[in-house]
Amino acid sequence: MTDHPSTDIPEQLFDDPQAEARWKERFTARRTSLPGWAEDAPDRNLYVSNASGVWEVYAWDRATDTHRQVTDRPNGTYHATLTPDGEQVWWFADTDGDEFGSWVVEPFAGRAAGTEPAEAVPGTHAGYPAGLQVGAKVVAVGMSTDDGTTIWTAPVGGEATVIYQSEHDAGAGSLSKDERLLSISHSEHGDSRHPALRVLRVADGSVVAEKWDGEGKGLDSIGFSPIAGDPRLLVLHERRGREELLVWDVEADTESLLEFDLPGEIVADWYPDGSGLLVVHTHQSRNTLYRYDFATGSLSALDIPKGTVGSASARPDGTIEYSWSSAGQPPVVRAMATDGSDRVLLEPAGHKPAPSQDLEDAFVPTVGGDVHALVARPEGAEGPLPTVFLLHGGPHAADEDRFSAYRAVWLDAGFAVVHVNYRGSTGYGSAWRDAIEGRPGLTELEDVAAVQDWAVESGLADPARCVVNGASWGGYLTLLALGTQPERWAAGVAGVPVADYVAAYEDEMEPLRAYDRALFGGSPEELPALYKECSPLTYVDSVRAPVLVLAGENDPRCPIRQIENYLERLAARGSKYEVYRYDAGHGSLVVAETIKQTAAEVAFTRRVLNL
């Protein structure tokens, strides 16, 4: 194995001490997720926070206003839930960020000194999480392995029984309030990107109802009605070419479509009394909130600032709690009372992150439609500027008008920043999301090229100092861009990328193999020419620009072997490249590690551009 050149980790990025402190403090400022509350004990709450320097799970007892750190692991913990009575905390235990593990459980008040959390569901096996539903009397647990998906049900504290097993990708969806019914999503029709739904009786696993909207139209179960005995399931569908809502009575097998006169896409969840829905509307990378009332059929807007809602929920007393940020303003967790008054719900102690620059919208015409780009420039800067094109992961995701300490440091370093919501991004309708099927990677890069042309022609970007940058799917696009568009890019930064698609398919977790088969139309054995055409390794000999590659040793999504294959080819041809490897998985939950990687990326780029 080649001893690849390691990148430098600078002690500081900026000569100005205030600027140096400001960018790091945006990362180290304490942040929390929106608290989730126990269904039958709403004063018992869980959230995740970086307060310890690592993203971990915290318990919050609102009655006494006490907070307790639940987990404390070297590479952090992100997945957790409460039992309905609020007495126990379930959290997912993997190994060093590899995402493979099992659910464990401990008391809300904490474990006795020197003890470990207990196995949550005896009789299950380890795997990648594929859904969890914790009821008062019954639990449903899904796990995925190389052999497919298994879903168990078990009485609380009892042994598990397999209720569903398939070689296909599937997941435990929603448990009815009376715990009689369980919805699952599945891809037995062969397309995990557009799942179907099945509802099973918990008692014996028999089928109550099935729903599939056909090829290219996925369904997602959001949740059963919060009323015991009510068999209505809130479902997300895309029959009209975008994500919208329907209510499905699974026992009568009847449905009611909810059609709102709003552009963009819709998702929602129940109010706790079942009287309405809290609706989150997404349009052009920003969110608005509404209440839908079943009795009147009315849709009422809630007054929130312009920006992005990370998540939102309705409390039993009707209070709406939501996490919010914008590009210019740091994140905050807020609570809106029924009278419309709004307050900060959680404000962690310690320093506050400095604000950053707002984003501007650009809509760039292409043969595939208008590409939405989000653009920021350093305060007071005039173009043409060195410009970093940040390509989001996913690809089933989108860049939004939300705060980003990562974007802010590039602005502080003098770069303009352009986010590209290329074809494949979510939030712009089904056709836009699915346009990359059959030709992934190359389709997105057509949109990236069009946006780069616009940025140069508008006077924003210096064509000699354009940088392509992304992580995960964005890292894949970065390496593919460097090889297929070498004349466009002066440097590339690829975090946890797909680099050799065939080797990545061989080593990645099974849910991603299923995803790839749906995206490409088959496996590498079935479509070898297409996988080769869409793999960065195919074009490595055309790479001209220096590239920094960052990789996690335990990454199950973009495994290390396929990255090594790409680096070996770079080394063989004497390319300019640097590498940073870290002991975690697909990214890091450790704040200091994130700062280290960010410093390496910015320093590398400034160095190769002579800035």
Mean pLDDT of 78-97: 97
Mean pLDDT of 103-109: 98
Residue 279 has pLDDT above 80, yes or no: yes
Q: What is the pLDDT of residues 243-259, one digit of tens each?
A: 999 999 999 999 999 99
The predicted model scores a pTM of 0.97
Q: What is the pLDDT of residues 519-565, one digit of tens each?
A: 999 999 999 999 999 999 999 999 999 999 999 999 999 999 999 99
Predicted pLDDT at 79: 97
How does 488-507 read in b/e, with b if 16+ C-beta sit within 10 Å? bbbbbbbbbbbbbbbbbbeb
Query: Percent of the chain beyond pLDDT 90?
Result: 98
Q: State the distance between the two ends of the chain, measured CA to CA, in whole angstroms.
A: 33
- Residue 2 — pLDDT band, cuts 50, 70, 90? confident
d(CA 241, CA 369): 15
Residue 427 has pLDDT above 70, yes or no: yes
Beta strands in 207-339 (DSSP E): 207-211, 220-224, 232-237, 244-249, 254-258, 265-270, 276-283, 286-293, 299-302, 308-314, 320-325, 332-336
d(CA 548, CA 491): 8
Instruction: Please tell me the least confidently modeled range out of 168-172, 344-348, 495-499.
Output: 344-348
Q: What is the pLDDT of residues 184-199, one digit of tens each?
A: 999 999 999 999 999 9
Predicted pLDDT at 22: 97
Q: If you search the block for the tokens 């000194």, which residue do you land on?
A: 113
Q: What is the pLDDT of residues 432-488, one digit of tens each?
A: 999 999 999 999 999 999 999 999 999 999 999 999 999 999 999 999 999 999 999
Predicted pLDDT at 1: 61
Residue 157 has pLDDT above 90, yes or no: no
Predicted pLDDT at 422: 98
d(CA 153, CA 140): 4
Establish whether the linkage from the previous residue to 353 is cis, with ω within 30° of 0: no
Mean pLDDT of 158-183: 97
| CA 362 to each of CA 338, 359, 420, 421: distance values in angstroms, whole numbers, following the listed order | 36, 10, 10, 11
Mean pLDDT of 109-120: 95
Q: What is the pLDDT of residues 18-48, one digit of tens each?
A: 999 999 999 999 999 999 999 999 999 999 9
